[in-house]
């Protein structure tokens, strides 16, 4: 999956593997996708699909799955893409999908509004868009990013493109960011020949940091300080331009 939450681990993201690096973000984005699952239907296009884990998480919700990504993406694994394409130039006919997913990829596009316009084009009226808007990037993110989006930015962009927002699911919170910040130096430490000595203590710290911060976010989290927001919107007709 082409996402900051999954890029930080080459293993398949899991809701329950709390001993893994970056589990705290993985389980929260998976939980948000599960909450959005009832809106998924028909032919699904996964833009920036990476290793395509959503195909498993949303199994039974769609009739056909298509995944697109860049040919030089280092996060494809053994995934077999439907097409190699940029999110801003999708090689599909108008109104050819019922659901479009874009997970944590807008921040890496210099013109994110073009991706939203393409999603509008390949959806029919009433078609569903599930799109993640990154508000805070995790520490140590290796890819070049362009934007951060507040929920107000996201809603405005979607409405300008001809979508109506149905639901918004916050992903993570301030304590999630604290946990990820603490784990970055631990992950750097746990490499090379010394890993035979550092593996067990580092894993123990992963568990302590992530479980405690997940609990703190559950008790004291602020949705306005979320790492990202997963928007569910359906396509309507484009609004008339102002005169």
Question: Can you give the pLDDT at residue 5?
Answer: 40
Closest CA to 169 of 205, 212, 130, 112: 130
Q: Are strands 228-235 and 99-102 parallel, antiparallel or unpaired?
A: unpaired
Please tell me the pTM assigned to this model.
0.86
Question: Can you give the pLDDT at residue 239?
Answer: 62
pLDDT band for position 49 (cuts 50, 70, 90): confident
The CA distances from residue 167 to 124, 129, 162, 230, 239, in Å, are 19, 11, 16, 8, 20
Question: Can you give the pLDDT at residue 4?
Answer: 42
CATH 3.40.50.970 fits 4-173+223-235, yes or no: no
Give the phi and the psi of residue 175 in degrees, each rounded to 5. Answer: -75, -25
Q: What is the pLDDT of residues 119-176, one digit of tens each?
A: 999 999 999 999 999 998 766 666 678 889 999 999 999 999 999 999 999 998 889 8
Domain ranges within the chain, ordered by starting residue:
4-173+223-235
In this structure, the number of other CB atoms found within 10 A of the CB of residue 23 comes to 24
pLDDT band for position 21 (cuts 50, 70, 90): confident
* Residue 44 and residue 237 in contact, taking contact as beta carbons nearer than 8 Å: no
The percent of residues in the chain predicted with pLDDT above 90, rounded, is 51
Q: What is the pLDDT of residues 68-103, one digit of tens each?
A: 998 877 667 677 888 889 999 999 999 999 999 999
Residue/partner pairs of 146-153 with CB below 8 Å, 24 or more apart = 146/107, 146/108, 146/109, 146/110, 146/112, 147/106, 147/107, 147/109, 147/112, 148/107, 149/106, 149/107, 149/229, 151/224, 151/229
């Amino acid at each position: 999956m082409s996402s900051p939450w999954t890029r930080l681990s080459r293993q398949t993201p899991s809701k329950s593997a709390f001993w893994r690096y970056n589990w705290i973000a993985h389980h929260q984005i998976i939980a948000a996708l599960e909450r959005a699952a009832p809106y998924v239907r028909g032919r699904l296009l996964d833009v920036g699909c990476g290793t395509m884990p959503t195909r498993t998480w949303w199994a039974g919700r769609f009739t056909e799955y298509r995944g697109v990504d860049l040919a030089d993406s280092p996060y494809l694994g053994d995934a077999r893409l439907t097409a190699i394409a940029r999110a801003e130039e999708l090689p599909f006919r108008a109104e050819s999908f019922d659901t479009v997913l874009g997970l944590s990829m807008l921040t890496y596009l210099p013109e994110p509004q073009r991706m939203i316009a393409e999603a509008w084009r390949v959806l029919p009226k009433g078609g569903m868009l599930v799109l993640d808007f990154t508000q805070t990037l995790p520490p140590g993110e290796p890819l070049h990013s362009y934007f951060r989006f507040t929920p107000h930015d996201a809603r405005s962009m979607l409405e300008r493109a001809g979508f109506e927002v149905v639901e918004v699911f916050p992903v993570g919170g301030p304590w999630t960011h604290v946990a990820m910040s603490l784990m970055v130096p631990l992950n750097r430490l746990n490499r090379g020949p010394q890993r035979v000595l550092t593996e067990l203590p580092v894993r123990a710290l992963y568990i302590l940091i992530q479980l405690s911060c997940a609990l703190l976010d559950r008790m004291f989290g602020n949705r306005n300080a979320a790492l990202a927001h997963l928007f569910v919107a359906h396509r309507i007709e484009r609004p008339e331009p102002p005169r």
